[in-house]
Each structure stands twice: as structure tokens, then as C-alpha cells.
Structure 1
Amino acid sequence: MTATENVAAAPPAATFTDAMSRLVSGLAVVTTRQSGGRPCGLLVSSICSYSVDPPSVLVVVDHASRCREPLTHCAEFGVHVLGSAQERTARTFASRGADKFADIAWEWDGAVPRLCAAPIYLRCNVAAMFDHGDHTILIGEVTRTEVREAEPLVFYRRLFDWRLRGNGVRQL
């Protein structure tokens, strides 16, 4: 049996998950304020530019995420695209830790928790939201953008430690 036959014999969800793990994506932390006033955040790899006019992003959040409920009740949220120096931040926000903000430099930007070290910060107003399957899709209209030069942190084949370099991709 060949490797191709092994993949074809896998259940459809497993085959799809494996296929999508081979799609290179950036990593971002999405943040908002919980109803009790505490910050909330999660790591996402399902994020993309949605529109230029008005400037908008599309973010996808798993229904099982503890941050989903606050995000579905917020008026605004932050998107922090991570750079190669934020691998620890990515792991923190991917975890189920109780206080993900404890060891992270952050500040309030109005009602939005803003991570200080992220090379790209987008403050967004919720423009649209809908459920599909086991995820919620948020469309955020960008009201503030901050960009600093940094090498991106890339998610590929379920690993956080890929980095893009000027001459290609290299795994550490």
C-alpha cells in the first residue's frame, strides 16, 4: 500500500485535517474583554484579509474555545499577528491556561486588550458574525492598525517553530 492509498483510506475529517495542516498560515492572537472585565485571548491560524473597503479581517473561532463566548458578545476585538520572536506567546494563547496574560506585556486599548510586542495590531469593530459547522466566523472592520517590521511566525504541519526568511522557509 502506498502513502497515497493510506491517506485515501483515512476518514474524511482526518484527511481534511491532514491536508489543511499543509497549508502555511500566519498565527494571530485575538483578544477581547470578558463580561467581568478581565482580558480574554486565543491563538488562531484561521485569519485572513477580508476587504480593503472597508478594511476588514475574517477570523474563525472554534466553538470549544473558552474565548468564543466573550467574542460573540463583544463590540470590538484585537488581532495581533505574531512575529518569529513570539513563539512563547503563541504557545501560551494556544493553551488552556487560566491566566494567559500573566506573563505577557499588554495594556488596554479602550475595551480591547493589546499585546505590546506583536508586530501587527488591528483593533476591530464586529461587523458581522455567523456560525458554520463547529466554528464561528467573525468579520472585523479595522479601526486602528499598527505595523512594525518583524519576521513572521508561521504555522505549518501543526508546528509553531517555522520562520519565513528572505531566502525561503527554514525549520529550527
Structure 2
Amino acid sequence: MTATEDVAAGLAVATFTDAMSRLVSGLAVVTTRQDNGTPCGLLVSSICSYSVNPPSVLVVVDHASRCHEPLRRSTEFGVHLLGIAQERTARTFASRGADKFADVAWEWDGSVPRLCPAPIYLRCTTTALFGHGDHTVLIGEVTRTEVEDAEPLVFYRRLLDWRLRGTGARRR
């Protein structure tokens, strides 16, 4: 099936969403502390490295997310890049569950909730944020990095169960 939309005539949301679902991305859980002292977190696929000097990441958060306001107000947040062993964690943080931390191993890293384990953990200080459309873009300067070798959990065509092996992605 081929879908074509004329940008000048107004891009159809469904066609745009379908097109972007074909962009392979890694998955990360972004965490912070809420004003009441409890942890909050969400699964994101809109994340990338932003700068090497200083080391920074760019994270995009939907305004409708329960973590949007805590992340917008916080000065620190954690980024947990997930591996294939964290598929259950990804599904938990993608859900609208009330307490996403109830069945997940985690600890405080200062004021940042840190998931245990996560192959890659980045502790970040918020250096910039701005709104665009229905999302907020956060820029975080990385103040701590922990890296373990693991196959990444890959998001493609709205599925969390893709694996990178050898020369290409295969669904298990």
C-alpha cells in the first residue's frame, strides 16, 4: 500500500504516524522525581545524542504524559537505554499504570530514580527545554554515564520485539 499526502494541502496525521513508525529507534525510560518526592518515568523513542562537547542528549516528551510536568520542572533526569532483557520494563513504562515502579528494581541516584539493571544509564542535568506542538524538547547535559554491553531493544512499526542480529533486524 502506498499513501501519499501533499504537505501543502495538510499532512494527514495517520499517514505521518505510519511513516514515522517505520523509523527504527532505540527505547529509553526517562525518570525524574516528582514534587511530592516519588519517582516517575515514561518510555520514549524520541531520543538522540545532541552534543559531544558538552555530552548531551535530546529527549522529547508528550504534553499529555503524567511525567511531562515533573520533567519540565526538574533540574535532573535519568535516561535508561534498554536492552532486550528489559522488554517487560519497556512495556511497564509505556503503560498508563499508576505505579510503574512497583514491580521494577530501582534505587535513588541522588534525586534521580535509577532503574536496575539498564545496560546504559545517563544521569542528566536539564540545560534547555522548549515546546513544539504537543511536545516538549528537553536537552540534558550528561553528568554520569554507565555502560554495559547488551543487545538493544529496538522499536519498529509499533512493536517492541525487534532484535538486531548480524546484518539486519529480525523479529523473534
Match of 2:71 in 1: 71
Q: Does 1:161 align with 2:161?
A: yes
Per-residue CA deviations over 1:98-122 (Å, capped at 9, x if unaligned) read 1100111100000000001110000
Residue 51 of structure 2: aligned partner: 51
Shift of 1:13: 1.1
1:36 is displaced (CA, Å) by 0.3
CA deviations on 1:126-148 (whole Å, 9 max, x unpaired) are 00000000000000000000000
Correspondences of 1:127-138 after superposition (within 5 Å) = 127-138=127-138
Inter-partner Cα distance in structure 1 for 2:30 and 2:116: 13
* 1:116 correspondence with 2:112: no
Aligned residue pairs total 168
Matched letter for residue 73 of structure 2:
H
Cα root mean square deviation, aligned: 1.2
In the aligned structure 2, how far is the partner of 1:111 from the partner of 1:26? 25
SS of the aligned residue for 2:4 comes to helix
Which whole-Å CA distance do the structure 2 matches of 1:56 and 1:166 have between them?
29
Please list, as runs of the form range in 1=range in 2, the aligned pairs for 1:139-150 lying within 5 A after superposition: 139-150=139-150
Q: TM-score, normalised by structure 2?
A: 0.95
Residue 9 of structure 1 and its aligned partner are, at CA, apart by: 6.2
Residue equivalent to 1:86: 86
Is residue 28 from structure 1 mapped to residue 28 from structure 2 by the alignment?
Answer: yes
Deviation string 1:7-40 (CA, Å, 9 cap, x unpaired) is 2269621111000000000000000000000000
Give the SS at the match of 1:122: strand
> Normalised by the size of structure 1, how large is the TM-score?
0.95
Give the partner amino acid of 2:48: C
What stretches of structure 2 of length at least 5 have no aligned partner?
A: none
Q: Deviations over 1:72-116 (max 9, x none)?
A: 000100000000010000000000001100111100000000001
* Greater than 4 Å deviation, 4+ residue runs: none
Please give the secondary structure, in 2, of the residue aligned with 1:14: helix
Equivalent residue of 2:70, what SS? helix
- SS of the counterpart of 1:8? coil
Describe the superposition over 1:47-85 as per-residue Cα deviations: whole angstroms up to 9, x where unpaired: 000000000000000011000010000010000000001
